Structure 1
Amino acid sequence: MKPVYALHRGSAPLLISLPHDGTEVPAELAARMTASARRVPDTDWHVSRLYAFARELGASLLVPAHSRYVVDLNRPPDDVSLYPGQNTTGLCPIVQFSGEPVYLDGQQPTPEEIAARVERYWKPYHEALRAEIARLRETHGRVVLWEGHSIRSVVPFLFEGRLPDFNLGTANGASCSPMLQAGLADVLAAHGDYSHVVNGRFKGGYITRHYGDPRGNVEAVQLELAQLNYMDEDRFDYLPERAEATQGVLRELLLRCLKA
């Protein structure tokens, strides 16, 4: 059976989770999707490449193989909305960020199929996540879980206007210490060429909210990065020069996480 994730175990108290980096869709599932959905446009494109430098910092990296259209690893298994009253997508999305359908008419997953996908893809990722958090906390006494995400800078279905470049989410301060949140905000404020917000439209998804436990020495932070800062949003091409500048800011943010 093909692995559903790849885990690089690092030596520092930092775990980078990239739950929307995957692009694979099983052939039998792709056959039920619309032509636009088969391009998996809502992928957090290239984030594993963008964060590859973090291995040099000693970070662990957890990366899935499959697309969020198979199952969204950053949604709760009971599919309760993380943003009540706002447009969003679910555990096994049936609508794209564009508002277009993911599936052809009559081909949406049944409750039984969704439960099977949770068993096959969702649970193994979260088991690995829990185990690596436990390993790092046991080794270091603390761990920072960094949720690396990205999204198109303009998605009218989800939010109005243009998204800030760096969108830091800490579940309104519940998933990490005030000191860490303030330190990360200071890093972003020092880079005036980029816009940023803390706990704006994206406050942190299921992983940030569920695993963040500052009192238990597990701090969790989500960064939703506007994709135009490192890639061509229309062609999905990685832009190395633009990405390099963005990586400089990411490096400072991760180094701040490593400060005890």
Structure 2
Amino acid sequence: MKYPFLISIPHGGVEVPAEVADRIALSDQELHWYCDPATRSLFDFSQSVEATLDTPVSRMVIDLNRPPLPLPPKDPDGIIKVRTIDGRKVYLPGNLPDLPFIHRLMMKWYFPYHQRIDELIDRYPVRIAFDCHSMLPYGSPEQSDAGKRRPLICLGNYGDLNGHAKPGSITTCPADWIVRLAGEFREEFPGADAVAINTPFSGGFISNAHYWRKGIPWIQIEVNRALYEHCGSPTGPHDLMEGQIPVLRSRIWSVLTRFWDGIAADATGDGKEPAGPYE
């Protein structure tokens, strides 16, 4: 029996399509640094869940976890990147894609990914979706937590530090669900400040948009790259600790299954369905 999960991995790809390759200013090493290396392997639960999707394309070419508007140069860190999170130029001078080029990229990579999410939710008995990412150990210069040490695990539902909706807003999953999941992660990753809710990241476009579209609860998961990578700098060494990937994948899977088994047990115990996504 498969778990009723949808696993979305939008930033694990590192490929640059041929039509973009001669425009990019970043080296292969930098492209790996600014993506989510190893997440396609780290969150590969495809044999045990109802639905999984990922992409080979680099987020530095097209970011699937951003809204389709605005386009550059208005949003330099949007769907089409102008600069990196630490201020490096993504494109060679005079090579920023124009509107027709952006449209082709979106039609090839962006819209099919989002359409596929809807199709998978419609086709399979998905009860919860996880948007899966990695994060650098410290905030980068142009980010809100610049220079600050990050937790090992960050969970996001667009709420506050306890998972509750902020004034005038809603969350993408119930507060008690994300708190329960955080508790399971803390069992697996003990230590002060090892697991955080909605800080430094509270969720991206994918979880927000598709919660609104389908009403399926979403939680964004961010895993600190220090758990499986020797992090250096964009141009320095940042080698993967290959042996840690399967170990870490097993630990994350254990957390997710304990979380859902608890939700299911609660539902069975009182004869009710698990709580819905509404606050």
Q: Per the shorter chain, which TM-score range?
A: 0.7 to 0.9
Q: Among 151, 160, 180, which residue is 1:164 paired with?
A: 151
Residues 227-242 of structure 1: matches in 2 within 5 Å? 227-234=225-232, 235-242=237-244
Q: Give secondary structure in 2 for the equivalent of 1:148.
A: strand
TM-score in terms of structure 1 length:
0.82
Task: Find the counterpart in structure 2 of residue 176 from structure 1.
Answer: 173
Q: Among 27, 31, 39, which residue is 2:22 paired with?
A: 31
- Give the number of the structure whose alpha-carbon radius of gyration is greater: 2
Measured against aligned partners, the alpha-carbon deviations of 1:24-73 in whole angstroms (never above 9, x if no partner) come to: 11233121111437741211101111122x23433422010211122100
> 1:147 offset after TM fit, Å?
0.6
Matched, 1:46 2:38: yes
Looking at structure 2, the residues matched to 36 and 213 of structure 1 have their Cα atoms a distance apart, in angstroms, of: 37
TM-score in terms of structure 2 length:
0.77
> 1:165 offset after TM fit, Å?
1.1
Measured against aligned partners, the alpha-carbon deviations of 1:211-236 in whole angstroms (never above 9, x if no partner) come to: 1259x651101011111111222334
- Asked whether the 8 Å contact 1:37–1:102 carries over to 2, the reply is no
> 1:99 offset after TM fit, Å?
1.2
Task: Find the counterpart in structure 1 of residue 209 from structure 2.
Answer: 210
The letter of the residue matching 2:98 is T
The letter of the residue matching 1:231 is E
Distance 1:60 1:39, change over 3 A: same
Looking at structure 1, the residues matched to 249 and 29 of structure 2 have their Cα atoms a distance apart, in angstroms, of: 29
- Asked whether the 8 Å contact 2:41–2:245 carries over to 1, the reply is no
What fraction of aligned residue pairs are identical, expressed as a percent?
Answer: 26
Q: Among 40, 49, 69, which residue is 1:78 paired with?
A: 69
Looking at structure 1, the residues matched to 13 and 185 of structure 2 have their Cα atoms a distance apart, in angstroms, of: 27
Matched, 1:189 2:173: no
Distance 1:37 1:97, change over 3 A: farther
Unpaired segments ≥5 residues, structure 1: 1-9, 82-86
Looking at structure 2, the residues matched to 80 and 145 of structure 1 have their Cα atoms a distance apart, in angstroms, of: 27
Unpaired segments ≥5 residues, structure 2: 164-170, 265-279
Measured against aligned partners, the alpha-carbon deviations of 1:162-193 in whole angstroms (never above 9, x if no partner) come to: 22111111111410122311211111232314
Looking at structure 1, the residues matched to 182 and 120 of structure 2 have their Cα atoms a distance apart, in angstroms, of: 26
State the superposition RMSD in angstroms: 2.6
Looking at structure 1, the residues matched to 238 and 18 of structure 2 have their Cα atoms a distance apart, in angstroms, of: 22
